[in-house]
């Protein structure tokens, strides 16, 4: 079975390629290398011993997408990661986000709609819920007005897929709403490679721990939570990757209940920023330099997943704890800074 992974050299994409190969899938990667490097292929080979096919391609070029699918007629499934994902950047450059995240999705769906049967996994995000009213967050929680163009592209993406599936019975799709991905493969051969100053908490923590950053700014200590800092559901990227393979197999084996389904991917446990810091200090044995500063605009107070649907319907459950995920992030940071 040949599977296309777009954005397959990125953080979650590369970990998913490894898990696909572990399950015997033949993988083709498309990546435009705008936020990744071809070096990641070596990391994948170091883990699985199998080199995926790779094509550097900008999915915004419609004719290139058409040519790709003409060349690869035997693709049975697509896992679509390729998108811009920096919340702050999306506020400054909305059109870049709408063009890159929406037009590419449309071009891929147009190609898949031509096939006798197609399975499609979409990389979505808990950001579609905004600040949910109830915790843990279930899949039927209302989708709220997005806090950023990035979040809006995920909401629009889900609508595009849902409406396309309604009129395309041969297209079967699953949207996976990630909570907060973190960590790295236990081999430390692949992991998160933020370009420039990390926007996300965990890479900023490990870069501070290794001495690349002077101190971590904790954005807000006055939230209505146990310790005043925001709560998130931090999920190990390998757990997340495994969920993608299970979701794809669900479609390929026609076990889906409808031709468009949505699943939250989280651990079901919320952790505060200070608890994440404590986890780092525990697994690294190092004291972390941090300072509590003003809140970051657009941040929500709390988000953690209800895992019932993923556990009972999808048949997947996150295996790693926050400490295990944090240890893998720290091992990776130490490896790449050697
Ligand atoms: C987590 C917590 C910050 C950095 C976003 C997107 C989501 C996904 C992941 C792409 C928050 C605090 C952070 C720092 C801090 N995006 N923080 N100091 O904002 O929950 O989710 O990134 O895939 O769709 O919405 O993740 O890691 O930026 O922040 O205090 O230097 O850490 O305030 O409470 P977030 P994050």
CB 287 within 8 A of CB 207: no
**276 three-state secondary structure:** helix
CB 45 within 8 A of CB 121: no
Ligand 1 nearest atom to the CA of residue 218, by list position: 30
CA distances 289 to 139, 142, 216, 267, 335, Å, are 37, 38, 6, 27, 21
CB atoms within 10 A of CB 174: 26
Tell me the pLDDT tens digit for each residue of 244-301. 999 999 999 999 999 999 999 999 999 999 999 999 999 999 999 999 999 998 899 9
Nearest-Å Rg of the Cα atoms of the chain is 19
Residue 114 Cα to ligand 1 midpoint, Å, equals 38
The pLDDT value given to residue 338: 84
Q: What is the pTM of this model?
A: 0.97
Q: Which of 326, 116, 310 is nearest to 234 (CA)?
A: 326
The pLDDT value given to residue 195: 87
CA distance 332 to 294: 30
CB 177 within 8 A of CB 125: yes
Most ligand 1 atoms within 8 A of CB, residue of 84, 130, 143, 219 to mutate: 219
CA distance 164 to 150: 21
Low-confidence ranges of the chain (pLDDT < 50): none
The angle at the Cα of 251, spanning 250 to 254, to the nearest 5 degrees, equals: 90
CB 284 within 8 A of CB 202: no
Report the nearest-CA residue for atom 23 of ligand 1. 85
Residue 200 Cα to ligand 1 midpoint, Å, equals 5
The pLDDT value given to residue 156: 98
Q: Which residues contact 270 (CB under 8 A, 6 or more apart)?
A: 135, 136, 231, 232, 233, 302, 303, 304
227-230 contact pairs (CB < 8 A, 24+): 227/272, 227/274, 227/275, 228/292, 229/272, 229/273, 229/274, 229/292, 230/272, 230/273, 230/299, 230/300, 230/301, 230/302
Q: Is the CB of 180 under 6 A from ligand 1?
A: yes
Two tokens at 289?
């330099």
């Amino acid at each position: 079975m040949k599977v296309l992974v777009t954005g397959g050299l990125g953080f979650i994409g590369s970990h998913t390629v490894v898990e696909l190969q572990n399950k015997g899938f033949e993988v083709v990667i498309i990546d435009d290398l705008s936020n990744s490097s071809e070096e990641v292929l070596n990391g994948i080979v170091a883990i699985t011993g199998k080199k995926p096919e790779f094509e550097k391609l900008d999915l915004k070029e419609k004719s290139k997408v058409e040519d790709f699918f003409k060349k690869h007629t035997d693709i049975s499934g697509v896992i679509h990661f390729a998108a811009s994902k920096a919340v702050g950047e999306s506020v400054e450059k909305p059109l870049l986000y709408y063009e890159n995240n929406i037009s590419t999705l449309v071009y891929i769906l147009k190609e898949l709609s031509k096939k006798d049967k197609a399975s499609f996994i979409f990389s979505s995000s808990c950001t579609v819920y905004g600040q949910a009213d109830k915790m843990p967050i279930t899949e039927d929680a209302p989708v709220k007005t997005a806090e950023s163009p990035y979040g809006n592209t995920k909401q629009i993406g889900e609508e595009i897929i849902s409406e396309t599936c309604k009129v395309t019975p041969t297209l079967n799709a699953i949207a996976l709403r990630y909570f907060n991905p973190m960590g790295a493969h236990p081999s430390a051969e692949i992991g998160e490679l933020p370009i420039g100053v990390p926007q996300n908490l965990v890479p900023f923590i490990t870069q501070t721990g290794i001495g690349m950053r002077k101190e971590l700014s904790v954005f807000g200590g006055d939230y209505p939570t146990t310790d005043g800092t925001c709560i998130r559901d931090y999920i190990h990227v390998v757990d997340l990757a495994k969920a993608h393979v299970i979701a794809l197999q669900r479609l390929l084996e026609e076990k889906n209940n409808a031709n468009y389904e949505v699943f939250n991917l989280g651990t079901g446990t919320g952790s505060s920023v200070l608890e994440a810091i404590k986890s780092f200090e525990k697994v690294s044995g190092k004291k972390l330099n941090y300072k509590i500063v003003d809140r970051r605009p657009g941040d929500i107070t709390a988000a953690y997943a209800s895992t019932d649907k993923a556990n009972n319907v999808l048949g997947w459950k996150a295996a790693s704890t926050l400490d295990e995920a944090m240890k893998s992030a720290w091992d990776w940071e130490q490896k790449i800074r050697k």
